[in-house]
Chains A and B, each alone.
Chain A
């Protein structure tokens, strides 16, 4: 176990260091959620006037929750890009040779993804508060929302690590990103689930991201809904994706 944490700490530290000292890595991961917040909360605020739209904290808060969780998921995706880059540069192969406990590598990358998201999530939260977001939630509800973000970040980071370790090339970027993007965008982003119609309503109704998003929106609005279900879904997601990432690591080990 000590060896596991030793490797995880080292990989996480390197991941955090690389992110913080490289503007080319840090800026896009901060800029994208901010653009989403500006475009959706700013550009689409009139959507709140649609009949039956009912989210008391307002449209900025409604969109903030989405951007908060989206930035968490994309924190994991961007870490997957870093893993793929490490394989392209040959660093990951050297790491596999020297790490005394290789599963610590995946844990380290996940730690890096979480640290990356803490930076992005903080910036997005500050931006939303500056934009006048109303926050009716109490302390425990905010902690609950943060926990949902942490779990979403971990699910996404494990998925991204798995893909990057299976393919071991930067060209895996689209494959890492696209499924996460599609799952997120098939949730009720712009209006509540009840206002969606047609095929998007059918898909969103069974999309796990919908339950996580609606639970987080409920927590922020001080009227929790399906919180346990959201945590259970994310917990299940972590179990499945941990298995996936472990298989990816095994594939990378076999490739040498």
Chain B
């Protein structure tokens, strides 16, 4: 079916209405804003200094450990977005608000896109903060101003993908507790990646293998390349490729889940 312009604008209006509510609600919950933003920065400050000896390992890139580590707060922030977005949606389901929305002519896709708006706004805010803190800590962006902008775009894309994961879990489970419970699992993907050392320097074989097959390694390496290498086509292609795949897969599954939930309602 061809979507008429009127329908398209109607869809945008629906997304706008749900999105405004989502953004307002997210910005009002300061705990949801401050803690997820602060936690990665604390780890960045501590690990950036505590692991600086790692730069003496033969084969480590000739950059400061802070520069090497800067991509990690972006990734941690994206993981927190998954929880923030998922919990907001789960709360709407638990409170019955979602069921009431389902009785209106609102489309499922508009509902999903609007619900993720709050998470995306947080992603934009925290990405800018992480970048500014990194620069203030003396990290230079090897790819320049353009690279810094690309870094922001990639980190927001990754956060959007993880927001979709959070929404998917919320829609499938309908429970905020389930979304909370999945968080450690998401964090494991960060632990078991090349977040702390370059992959060639991961000495333990099983860890090296897991990090190689772990897409999070490539998301981090894509962002990291802009900071420490400059314009690295392969790292960026892998980073953007996995980020786009995450967005497409998570949103497609979330869209199916929202349709199923609306049918049940």
Q: Give the distance in Å from the alpha carbon of A197 to the alpha carbon of B50 in the complex.
A: 8
Which residues on B sit within 8 Å (CB–CB) of A200?
A: 46, 49-50
Q: Which residue of B lies closest to A197 (CB)?
A: B52
Q: Are B204 and A43 in contact (CB under 8 A)?
A: yes
| Interface check A24, CB cutoff 8 A | yes
Chain A interface, >50% SS class? helix
Q: Are A188 and B50 in contact (CB under 8 A)?
A: yes
Which residues on B sit within 8 Å (CB–CB) of A45?
A: 203-204
20 A–B contacts from the bound complex (CB under 8 Å): A24-B177, A24-B181, A28-B181, A31-B184, A35-B192, A38-B207, A42-B206, A42-B207, A43-B192, A43-B196, A46-B54, A46-B201, A46-B202, A49-B57, A174-B35, A182-B46, A185-B46, A185-B50, A190-B51, A198-B52
A199-B49 contact in complex given A24-B177, A35-B187, C-beta closer than 8 Å: yes
Within 8 A of A (CB), among B190-228: 191-192, 195-197, 201-204, 206-207, 211
B256–chain A nearest beta-carbon distance, Å: 26
Q: Mark contacts of A157-198 with chain B using CB atoms, 8 A cut-off: 1 yes-contact digit, 0 otherwise.
A: 000000000000001001000000010011011110001111
B152–chain A nearest beta-carbon distance, Å: 27
B175–chain A nearest beta-carbon distance, Å: 11
The 4 A-B residue pairs with the shortest CB-CB distance in the complex, in nearest-first order: A200-B49, A39-B191, A42-B207, A42-B204
Chain B interface, >50% SS class? helix
**Complex partner residue of A195 from B31, B53, B177, CB under 8 angstroms:** B53
Q: Are B54 and A47 in contact (CB under 8 A)?
A: yes
| Interface check A255, CB cutoff 8 A | no
Q: Give the distance in Å from the alpha carbon of A44 to the alpha carbon of B54 in the complex.
A: 9
Q: Are B53 and A50 in contact (CB under 8 A)?
A: yes
Which residues on A sit within 8 Å (CB–CB) of B47?
A: 190
Size range of the interface on B?
Answer: 20 to 34
Which residues on A sit within 8 Å (CB–CB) of B49?
A: 196-200
Which residues on A sit within 8 Å (CB–CB) of B50?
A: 185, 188-191, 196, 200
Q: Which residue of A lies closest to B202 (CB)?
A: A43
Q: Are A43 and B46 in contact (CB under 8 A)?
A: no
A130–chain B nearest beta-carbon distance, Å: 12
| Interface check A32, CB cutoff 8 A | yes
Which residues on A sit within 8 Å (CB–CB) of B203?
A: 45-46
A32–chain B nearest beta-carbon distance, Å: 6
Q: Are A38 and B197 in contact (CB under 8 A)?
A: no
Q: Give the distance in Å from the alpha carbon of A9 to the alpha carbon of B177 in the complex.
A: 29
Within 8 A of B (CB), among A19-40: 24, 28, 31-32, 35-36, 38-39
Which residues on A sit within 8 Å (CB–CB) of B177?
A: 24
Q: Give the distance in Å from the alpha carbon of A31 to the alpha carbon of B187 in the complex.
A: 11
B83–chain A nearest beta-carbon distance, Å: 13
Residues of A that sit less than 8 Å from B by CB: 24, 28, 31-32, 35-36, 38-39, 41-47, 49-51, 53, 171, 174, 182, 185-186, 188-191, 195-200
Q: Give the distance in Å from the alpha carbon of A45 to the alpha carbon of B57 in the complex.
A: 11
Which residues on B sit within 8 Å (CB–CB) of A186?
A: 46
Q: Are B192 and A39 in contact (CB under 8 A)?
A: yes
Q: Are A46 and B197 in contact (CB under 8 A)?
A: yes
| Interface check B105, CB cutoff 8 A | no
A207–chain B nearest beta-carbon distance, Å: 11
A210–chain B nearest beta-carbon distance, Å: 12
Q: Are B46 and A50 in contact (CB under 8 A)?
A: no
Q: Give the distance in Å from the alpha carbon of A42 to the alpha carbon of B204 in the complex.
A: 6
Which residues on B sit within 8 Å (CB–CB) of A174?
A: 31, 35
Q: Are A28 and B211 in contact (CB under 8 A)?
A: no
Q: Are A50 and B54 in contact (CB under 8 A)?
A: yes
B194–chain A nearest beta-carbon distance, Å: 8
**Complex partner residue of B197 from A35, A44, A185, A196, CB under 8 angstroms:** A44
Which residues on B sit within 8 Å (CB–CB) of A47?
A: 51, 53-54, 57
Q: Give the distance in Å from the alpha carbon of A43 to the alpha carbon of B57 in the complex.
A: 14
A43-B197 contact in complex given A186-B46, A196-B49, A198-B49, C-beta closer than 8 Å: yes
Within 8 A of A (CB), among B50-94: 50-54, 56-58
Which residues on B sit within 8 Å (CB–CB) of A42?
A: 202, 204, 206-207
**Complex partner residue of B211 from A24, A43, A190, CB under 8 angstroms:** A43
Q: Which residue of A lies closest to B205 (CB)?
A: A42
Q: Are B57 and A28 in contact (CB under 8 A)?
A: no
